Amino acid sequence: MLFRCLILIWVLLQTSLCDHWPYHRYYGKKSRSGEFMPDFSRAIQSKGSQHRFIHWLHDVSETQDSGEVRRMFINNTIPRDATSLDEVFDHLKRPQPGNFRGNISHLVPPLIANLPSDEAEKLFGNLRYALDSKCIVDKSNWWYRTTDGSCNWMKKDEINEGRIGMAKARDYGDHHYADGISKPREGPNARAVSNAFFKRNRTIYYEHTPLLIGLIEFVMHDVTYSMDSPEETIEVEMPPDEDTFDKNTKFVVHRTKAVPGTGTSMTNPRENVNMATTWLDISSLYGSTSDVARAIRSYKNGKLLTQEVKAGNMSLATSYLPFNSWNVSMRTTPGLDPTTLFTGGDPRTNEDWLVLAVHTLLLREHNRLCDLLAKQHPAYVDMKNSEHTDEKLYQTVRLIMSAKYALVANSYQMAYWTDKMPWPRDDGFPLYRQMYGESFMEINPMNTYPWPLVTKGGKPMVVSAEMAIVYRFHEFIISQFPIKDAKNNTLWNQSVFDTGFNPQGFLNTGLDSILRGMVGSHIPNFKSGVDESFRSAGKYRAEPFDVSTWSIVHEREQGLPTFNTYFREYNKQDPKVTVKVPSTFEEFTSDPEKVQKLKTLYDRPDDVDLVVGVQLDETYFPGTTVPKSALIISLFSLFGMGNSDRFSIGFAVTRCLLVDQPFDCHPSNALEELLWKPHPEPGLPNMRRLDDFWLNELDFPDHGTNLLWRLVTENTDISCLQQDPLFPADPKTNPVLCSLPTLPWWKIATTAVSGFEIVETNIEDYHTALATVMLALGLGMFLQMRSRFRHDRLNIPPVYSGLPIIGEALNFAKDPKGVLLKGFVEYGQTVSRCFGLKLASLVYFVVTRSTDLEWMEADNSKEEIFSLHKFLGVINFPLIVHQENFDSNLHVNIVREYLGNRRVVSKFGTTILDASNRFIDNSLPHTRTDLSQFVPVLMKYITTVIGACMVGDEIFDHPDLLKIFDQFNDHAVEAMGLSSLLPSRLQFLAGIKINADYRKARKILIPIIQKRRGQIGTAESGAKNITLLDQFLKDVPDNERAADLVVILVWGGLTNLQATFPSLIMDIINDPNATRALADTWSLLDPARLSVFDELPRPDPTNPWTPLRAAMFESIRLSGPITGPARFILKDAQLPSSMPYKTSPQETESESEPAPTVKPQKLPQGQVATLSAYYTHRSPAVYGPDAAKWVSNRFLRSDPDIGSPRFISWGLKGPHTCPGRWFAQECILVMSMCLMGRYDIVPEEYLIDEEKYIYLSSNVERRNVRVTITPRGRCL
């Protein structure tokens, strides 16, 4: 009973840890390796957020404008001490029965409900203005956001407010062209102005991170896009003081595209077109035109298109923006193919990695929310109508996303607050309270739409031309930022300028590494000037560029006011916070040098450009770190735009408190429908309550202050991050918080469930089992401490020890490639370059120096230091092949005797050929077909052919046997992993599934074996193709053992081919040049001319097999595992590479001789030495600068030196070099000939090396790619 309880508690604990609800967080603590991990002793409770929301609701209901709200509740107050929202709504006064409108729920089909024609007028009756019929005739125009931004403002004849393609508003409606019509306003040389006031003169680092830059950039792309006029340009010559560009250089700045038909007279001055919607609707992600919006949708379950990529050093594929295969209009540079760029909703998507990081996070968040919405509201999923489901999920999630985005923007503006900003600081309204000098009681979020304070002339506030110019904050731009790994180690410093229009580099680096650098560094403050890499760029879109000059020119050519002109008009609005209008140059700045430059460049103070005056402004908006003039034009306008939006989260939350009442609630859009869940009561059919699930998901109780943290942790593998990612981490003010780990614990949970369930089933003495487990754990910890002490004395290579007992096993299971590369980053420049990974009970020392590999090769024949057999024993290989086979090495001897025999191997060509054709005839389509799961087809092909070679044609009569072979392959890998985590008394448990596979296989194989024995020596036997079963039957008289050996030998064949064969096929079709080069050879290939023996002096150039053989060796080279081959260390042994002056003549400069003072390192007895085929085969020192690239003809003139330190896929030379390598090559080549000879195969996408493979702890798999196959003939 005690043991049962222990099991139950343990499993429940791990299950609870895997719960990933966003508000279950822990403070982070740094491990010895430098990586942050959750501190499970310091949890952050989630209930506080809900309490804060209830307090907020009570407090705002007590303000002077909210009397009607509090009077809905008992005692005329919302209970501030309520512990849940349900308790709050339980305090509602129940109204007298009356005539309530019928309940209309939009959570059920049809998508667009059949409403009475006057429904829109009823829902929007509180607006008190006529609605435009073009909006209300189609419910989708007002229930959801439109793509182009129209019908957000539904007033008759004004529905284009905020729509794409409209003229940019002007804050005070005035135009300042030189001729009053369209001629650019005059001013001094723009480059001279840039040199005078915008140079990076000093850097003041302040407490914000580069994530702020990416967010600002994304926001600006969302609300404004000024297209270049292709016909109109302005040239800017270099001024006399120019010290960067040649004096003959000219900047060529395109004018902003005008609204057609404007600029004809002083009564019709030139207007500038805005090609983005001006609402905070994330149009940068979704697009502002129907063509773009359609191109980036998947039309499946509401999701956006993605490409799944193993980016950076990740082993698992994650979602990234798709490449531009639809040729959507994307801004690019001359000569760069737009189809090589990412596709996004905005043409500037590829501008730099900072904005791409934000874009990618929002893409993943949209798709995550589609799954969440479908799970929370099954009614959204119409099983009979997938189009309906897709549209409803997509449109609703767009509204959820824009609500989150607006709350993120609130969190973003708070990044500028200081301690002097009056309370409350986080509800989104402190700027307005400061601006108008009013209190929380007078200005707060409890407002109805439209809110008069954010309307201008009776219209909503939209982005203005002035805001589009000023709100660029170019001083924040950094020249570079770090790329960081999970331990916060800087891998390299990345030039921001070089990230422009470089999506492939983004993929190669990976979002996680980029984000770690963005949140782990600083950006400059205002008044620092603009970084020279952007102010004096040698090329931007193939031309010299100065971001400051461009801003000055655009201000003038768009006819915007000067600094004094603008703020005279602003001050007329009678704000509490005014801006001084300088009457002298000295009033612009306290810097005498800049005053002198003003006097030199400008004739009068009134001539000073708007962006120059903002740049020089030395007064700060009260309670912020932002210059007053910059904030008024930018953040103040941004806030106004958010609160002018009909779909604002603030209006949605208060809809049924201010417009309707909870007991008669009628949502007016899909976001309100989601937030106010139906809760009908007798006599109250329209009763609704706020849904705390969606309020929490939107982080509304905390005003969005947790959303950026969640956006990162819920959409990346970064689980630990500072609480506010816009500020650097600080233990006191901005601590690192960790989400609950998901992947790192799956192995433990799996082991617990499977291992302990088996224990409970098979062991009656629970107390004995419990004692065994506890003793093993205690002994393991003692032995680990003892081992560390001994290793310290030996001076072994550094070891990643990880967690007690299991070491780095969990991290290695999750990301073996990342763990390996981490080691090489940290220890790759050491003398031996060797380091250890503790994986459960063993430390694996990774050996890669050529000197050390030669040493291991020399020991291969003697096995005085290293042992393969011993290594297989300690990883429980006997569990898989059975102890008697392992002790006698019977399975290996069979392979050596028959598959190491040239005459026998040569005969298998016909067996492979016939099995291949039969598989293709039975399993592949005979017409042109798109295959979404091509790699699984190749795996089935391998199992079938290997099975036929081992058993014979009977394999085609027993498809269940093929399934058993595949299951055995999977269970063998699982068994080795599970057995290494169990005490010795319980290790037999890991073999239970293995033994079940053996039993199932025997039922099919023994009758075949019995029949085959009866055919020995008969004519029927001689007529059949050769099989390995026929060869070894005479050596194994026991039928049961013979059946088991068939399973073992098939497993060995699968192990050899499961990475290599798919890699060859996928590599060929991934390289159009190789595909064309090999196309002419398929019909010439004859198995009779095939030679796979590696004693040939050089390939035969006349043999048509030679090009395919060369390509095969190249694919084998690049598909090697992360670790392996491996050997057990029999005794302490010094690494030759660590001995003074003991270097190989083959060592390169990167492997220089160690200093004579270096103390030699030893590999300790009882551990494991492992090679790394992945690392060695990609080493430029071995294969040149293109080592990581698949080159089909690399081995055309010379076979690889198999078994040498240069080519270790089949082990090092000696008695343990893989005995089945000839047979493996025969299979790969003949199977490739049959498949490629019979089909044209075209992949949907082409991959680089980093994208091709899925690295697991024990093997390598090829990433699946969708292909189109077209039949063209039959193999020989």
* 3-state DSSP assignment of residue 471: coil
The pLDDT tens digits for 1115-1126 are 999 999 998 899
* 3-state DSSP assignment of residue 1163: strand
Say if residue 842 is exposed, middle or buried (CB neighbours under 10 Å; 0-12, 13-18, 19+): buried
Nearest Cα neighbor of 825 from 1163, 404, 492, 330 is 492
Supply the pLDDT for residue 765: 41
Phi-psi region of 301 (alpha: psi -120 to 50; beta: other; left: phi over 0): left
| AA letter at 1074 | A
| AA letter at 818 | G
Mean pLDDT of all residues in 840-845: 89
Phi, psi of 1262 (to 5 degrees): -90, 135
Is 474 annotated as belonging to a binding site?
yes
Q: How far is CA 557 from the centre of its chain?
A: 41
Mean pLDDT of all residues in 497-525: 93
350 neighbors 79 (Cβ within 8 angstroms): no
The pLDDT tens digits for 1053-1095 are 888 888 899 999 999 999 999 999 998 888 888 888 888 886 5
The yes-or-no verdict on residue 744 having pLDDT over 50 is no
Q: How far apart are CA 230 and CA 113, in angstroms?
A: 46
Q: Count CB atoms within 10 A of the CB of residue 1010.
A: 11
The yes-or-no verdict on residue 782 having pLDDT over 60 is no
Longest dimension (CA), the chain: 114
Q: Count CB atoms within 10 A of the CB of residue 508.
A: 17
Greatest mean pLDDT among 14-23, 129-138, 331-340, 553-562 lies in: 553-562
| AA letter at 549 | T
How far from 1268 is each of 492, 1081, 1181, 1239, CA to CA, in Å? 40, 21, 38, 10
Phi, psi of 538 (to 5 degrees): -65, -30
- Tokens representing 719? 């689980």
Sequence-separated (6 or more) residues with CB below 8 Å from residue 897: 1032
Mean pLDDT of all residues in 1253-1268: 88
What is the helix (H) or strand (E) element at residue 844, kind and residue range?
strand 842-846
285 neighbors 364 (Cβ within 8 angstroms): no
The pLDDT tens digits for 355-410 are 999 999 999 999 999 999 999 999 899 888 889 999 999 999 999 999 999 888 87
Q: How far apart are CA 1057 and CA 1068, in angstroms?
A: 16
The yes-or-no verdict on residue 51 having pLDDT over 80 is no
**What is the number of helices (H) and of strands (E) in the chain?**
51, 33
Long-range (24+ apart) CB contacts under 8 A made by 805-809 are: 805/777, 805/780, 805/781, 805/840, 806/748, 806/840, 806/981, 807/837, 807/838, 807/839, 807/840, 807/843, 808/837, 808/838, 808/839, 809/747, 809/838, 809/839, 809/840, 809/980, 809/981
The yes-or-no verdict on residue 769 having pLDDT over 60 is no
The pLDDT tens digits for 628-667 are 998 889 877 777 788 889 999 989 999 998 899 999 999 9
% pLDDT > 70, the chain: 85
Q: Count CB atoms within 10 A of the CB of residue 1094.
A: 17
Nearest Cα neighbor of 191 from 250, 143, 142, 233 is 250
Phi, psi of 923 (to 5 degrees): -120, -15
Say if residue 275 is exposed, middle or buried (CB neighbours under 10 Å; 0-12, 13-18, 19+): middle
831 neighbors 1138 (Cβ within 8 angstroms): yes
Q: How far apart are CA 542 and CA 813, in angstroms?
A: 46
Mean pLDDT of all residues in 1029-1055: 90
Q: Using alpha carbons only, how large is the chain's radius of gyration in Å?
A: 35
Q: How far apart are CA 1180 and CA 763, in angstroms?
A: 54
| AA letter at 495 | S
Q: How far apart are CA 1268 and CA 825, in angstroms?
A: 40
The pLDDT tens digits for 234-258 are 999 999 989 889 999 999 999 999 9
Q: How far apart are CA 654 and CA 662, in angstroms?
A: 10
DSSP symbol at 460: E
The pLDDT tens digits for 857-894 are 999 888 899 999 898 888 878 888 888 888 888 888 89
The yes-or-no verdict on residue 267 having pLDDT over 60 is yes
- Tokens representing 622? 């009260």
What is the helix (H) or strand (E) element at residue 232, kind and residue range?
strand 228-237
DSSP symbol at 540: E
Give all domains of the chain, ordered by start, each with its CATH number: 1-18+742-783 (no CATH), 25-115+648-705 (no CATH), 879-1271 (1.10.630.10)
Supply the pLDDT for residue 779: 43
- Tokens representing 760? 């409970």
Nearest Cα neighbor of 354 from 205, 180, 476 is 476
Q: How far apart are CA 567 and CA 1041, in angstroms?
A: 93
Mean pLDDT of all residues in the chain?
A: 84
Q: How far apart are CA 844 and CA 800, in angstroms?
A: 10
DSSP symbol at 654: H
Nearest Cα neighbor of 389 from 303, 281, 286, 293 is 303
Mean pLDDT of all residues in 197-221: 84
